[in-house]
Amino acid sequence: MTETYTALARKWRPRAFAELVGQEHVSRALVNALETGRVHHAFLFTGTRGVGKTTIARILAKCLNCESAVTATPCGQCASCREIDAGRFVDLIEVDAASRTKVDDTRELLDNVQYSPTRGRYKVYLIDEVHMLSTHSFNALLKTLEEPPPHVKFLLATTDPQKLPVTVLSRCLQFNLKRIPLAQIAGHLRAILEKEGIEFEPAGLQLVAQAADGSMRDGLSLLDQLIAFGGGRAGEAEARAMLGTIARDHVLQLAERLAAADPVELLRHAQSLEEWAPDYAQVLDELASLLTRIALKQVVKDFDGDDLYAPQVLERLAGAIAPEDVQLYYQTAIMSRRDLPLAPDPRTGFEMALLRMVAFRPQAGSGAGAGPQAVVQGGRPAGPASLATPAGRAASSTPSAAGPPPSAPGAAPAAAKAVSGDWGAMIAALELQGAARQLATHCVLVGREGAVVRLALDPRSKFMRTSAVEEKLAQALTKYYGEPMRVEFTAVAPRAETPAQAGQRASQEEAESARRAFESDPGVQGFRERFGATALPETIRPVK
């Protein structure tokens, strides 16, 4: 005779409070109540599916009816404990409220409350999905729920406590079971597979735990499915194929192309995913998950990653993508995930999300519409030739607003070369992007001494300085001057206005001009006089 297979969710169901995973706040309260003899007559367990509501109720019933004593640690060996585990204990009455919603069913159930238990110490009524009872059923239950016989305990479970009448809630001790964290689900699945002797890959368990979405029962059911799908093993490739997710290598390549800000290669790789028939919503979820880990690595240097992404991978991407770009990419991914059903088709929505990421990267200094060149006096574009004097040429007699040239006589001609130019226009010519551009716009050019460009950084912006950003700025200056350059920052505050401060001042002046024009408008004045209207200054914006 073929042996019947028992699903992992049933085989490894906790049979004692010590075996519970992720619900310590509930088990601690119940253990203390049992040990002190202060066991309430009605309990309400709430929470999402698969977090242990009925499991805890059965453990509590076992604690109350263990033949040894009322205890927080039932023996599990006596007849009562074994029968409760097997689901055939006569004094544990389990009711599915979803199928017994009528008031006659409830009255029939309550007719037997007055009778003493047949075998156990207490008669325990376990009513699952209690919110499905009708209004009349609740009314019939109320009096018994408030003053039950001393030998009766009520254990109610529901996924939707908002539908319960307040008269029921006030008669119960309520315990809200939490969603189980991903790490605890993955750890429990690992422990089960080790005991079962089944081969697995940690990344595969991480994917299953992630798909379980806080439910341990769902995690065990998915693990059963994965073992069957993988032919007796739980690997990462099998998990991705079963769950319909793409390989993480594809997500890593998307992130690397975002770091390179190469829209052509980014779209080419996005289009190559079509052969895998991916769920593009899940691809965006995976990309957002990777960006979260990158942001953590940038902020918390000792973040070690997890089973999906190794620390060295996160270290490389954290150095390649500016922090503000990571935040923008993450926000774009989750917003595009929400809007994906509105797109003409999922692939189009996914590709537009990637285009948004590279098209709307932060641009500091010359405004959002600034390109690689800036317009200077007379409307002519400023290029590298108009921003600095050629090497060996005499310095301009006009002093720079950034400050005097260096005091060393031998360095005067070279320093004058950079100082004589407009630093804001020079930033545009450098074609900087992201964090490097922001750092440059918060500096004032002090001068140049040979292969060294000296900048004075606004002290309020010193957090922008990182080795990676400084390297990008030095590379841009090297390309601009045509020879190797390095950057040194002075500790003194800039004497002149930085490009960022100039842009902020210009915006404030435009806003103030718009407010004055609005206040002087005859129509606005008429509204004030006739209706006593009041303008909100912060809502007035200049028209571009």
Residue 191, token pair as written in the block? 């422990």
Examine the pLDDT at 4 and tell me if it is beyond 50. yes
Is the model's pLDDT at 396 over the cut of 70? no
Q: What is the DSSP string of 216-231?
A: HHHHHHHHHHHHHHTT
Rounded to an integer, what distance in angstroms lies between the CA atom of residue 185 and that of residue 527?
63
**Which architecture characterizes domain 374-390+407-496 according to CATH?**
2-Layer Sandwich (3.30)
What is the Cα gyration radius of the chain? 34
The pLDDT value recorded for residue 534 is 77
Pick from 311, 289, 275, 270: which is nearest to 211 by CA? 289
Q: Nearest-5° angle of CA 30, CA 34, CA 38? A: 95
List the chain domain ranges: 8-176, 182-243, 248-359, 374-390+407-496, 501-539
Distance CA 388, CA 450 (A): 14
Q: pLDDT at position 398, please?
A: 36
- Residue with the bigger pLDDT between 412 and 282: it is 282
User: How do 381-382 and 443-449 pair as beta strands?
Assistant: unpaired
CATH topology of domain 8-176: Rossmann fold (3.40.50)
For residue 71, give the 3-state DSSP assignment: coil
**What sign does the dihedral 445-447-451-452 (CA atoms) show?**
negative
Q: For position 60, what pLDDT does the model report?
A: 95
Topology (CATH level 3) of domain 182-243: Helicase, Ruva Protein; domain 3 (1.10.8)
pLDDT band at 262 (very low <50, low <70, confident <90, very high): confident
Encoding tokens for residue 222? 């998915």
Is the pLDDT reported for residue 419 higher than 70? no
Asked whether 463 and 499 are in contact (CB, 8 A), the reply is no
127 band by pLDDT with thresholds 50, 70 and 90:
very high
Q: What is the pLDDT of residues 462-498, one digit of tens each?
A: 778 888 888 888 989 988 888 888 899 886 555 667 8
Which amino acid belongs to residue 288? A
248-359, CATH topology level: Zinc Finger, Delta Prime; domain 3 (1.20.272)
Q: Is the pLDDT of residue 418 over 70?
A: no
Q: Which residues pair with 42 in a beta bridge?
A: 154
How far is residue 476's CA from residue 440's CA, in Å, rounded to a whole number?
11
